Amino acid sequence: MPTEKQQTQVRKEQIAQAVLSLAASHGLRGLSMAAIARRVGFGATAVYRHFKNKDEVLDAALALVGSRLRANVAAVCEETDDAIDRLYRLLMRHIKLIRDNEGIPRIVFSEDFYSGQPQRRARMYRGIEAYLGKVAAIIRQGQQAGQLDRDFEPGSGALMFLGLVQPAAILWHMSDGEFDVTRQARETWQLFLKAIRRN
């Protein structure tokens, strides 16, 4: 047996990360069990020692994405107390996360990921809602502190915040990295700030 044995816990993480990496280069279509396993250094069938089936593997990858997003929010709240600072840092972290793991948007926005899996779609929906809720909380904090305008709903602001990244991210990877996400995000951030800041 050429491959070393490893704990299931370790393997699970490796497999989930392999899904993200592979999705980055080949999307969901080329995401076969064999490809995932090869990435880890496996035969295809070994994956079944750690997961019941492919769906469980994809679920693990999804959970990984969720934990990364939560970590970002926690980090910016650690770094600063200022609402605007928090939002800007979160924006930059979000972009970096996507740049480093191109597979994330490819999976999250891929419809094949959800087709035939209503529970997974529901879980994803709740995950995005939770993320938006945390952004909204930061915005509400800014409104109460008097930095941000009070005449809009924090939820709408949070949605717009997400809109700062999404089109840029899609264009970025459609252009094969040619499109400058970071620069564009900085530009639209200025517009966003003008929209939400107390005049």
Q: Give contact residues for a second copy (rule: CB under 8 A).
A: 23, 26-30, 106-107, 109-112, 114-116, 121, 124-125, 128-129, 152-153, 156-157, 159-160, 162-168, 170-171, 174-176, 184, 187-188, 190-192, 194-196, 199
- Which positions ≥6 away from 89 have C-beta within 8 Å? 76, 79, 80
- Taking CB within 5 to 8 Å according to partner kind, which of DNA, a second copy, none is near residue 112? a second copy
Alpha carbon 124 to chain centroid, angstroms: 11
Shortest gap between Cβ of 72 and DNA (angstroms)? 30
Quote the CA–CA distance of 64 and 69 in Å, as a whole number: 9
- Taking CB within 5 to 8 Å according to partner kind, which of DNA, a second copy, none is near residue 33? DNA
The residue range among 3-11, 69-77, 143-151, 158-166 that interacts with DNA, by the rule CB under 7 A, is 3-11
Neighbouring C-beta atoms of residue 197, cutoff 10 Å: 12
Shortest gap between Cβ of 109 and a second copy (angstroms)? 4
Quote the CA–CA distance of 11 and 123 in Å, as a whole number: 24
Neighbouring C-beta atoms of residue 42, cutoff 10 Å: 20
Query: Is 134 a residue that touches DNA (CB under 7 A)?
Result: no
Shortest gap between Cβ of 41 and DNA (angstroms)? 7
Shortest gap between Cβ of 21 and DNA (angstroms)? 16
On the 0-12 / 13-18 / 19+ scale of CB atoms within 10 A, 123 is middle
Asked if 29 and 113 touch (Cβ cutoff 8 Å), the reply is no
Query: Is 175 a residue that touches DNA (CB under 7 A)?
Result: no
From residue 22 to residue 51, the character string flagging contacts with DNA as x (rule: CB under 7 A) and all else as - is: --------xxxxx--x----xxxxx-xxx-
- Taking CB within 5 to 8 Å according to partner kind, which of a second copy, DNA, none is near residue 44? DNA
Shortest gap between Cβ of 116 and DNA (angstroms)? 10
Task: Check the CA dihedral 117-72-30-58 and report its sign.
Answer: negative
Question: Looking at this protein, which amino acid is placed at residue 20?
Answer: L
DSSP symbol at 5: P
CA Rg value for the chain: 19
Footprint of DNA (CB under 7 A):
1-8, 11, 30-34, 37, 42-46, 48-50, 53-55
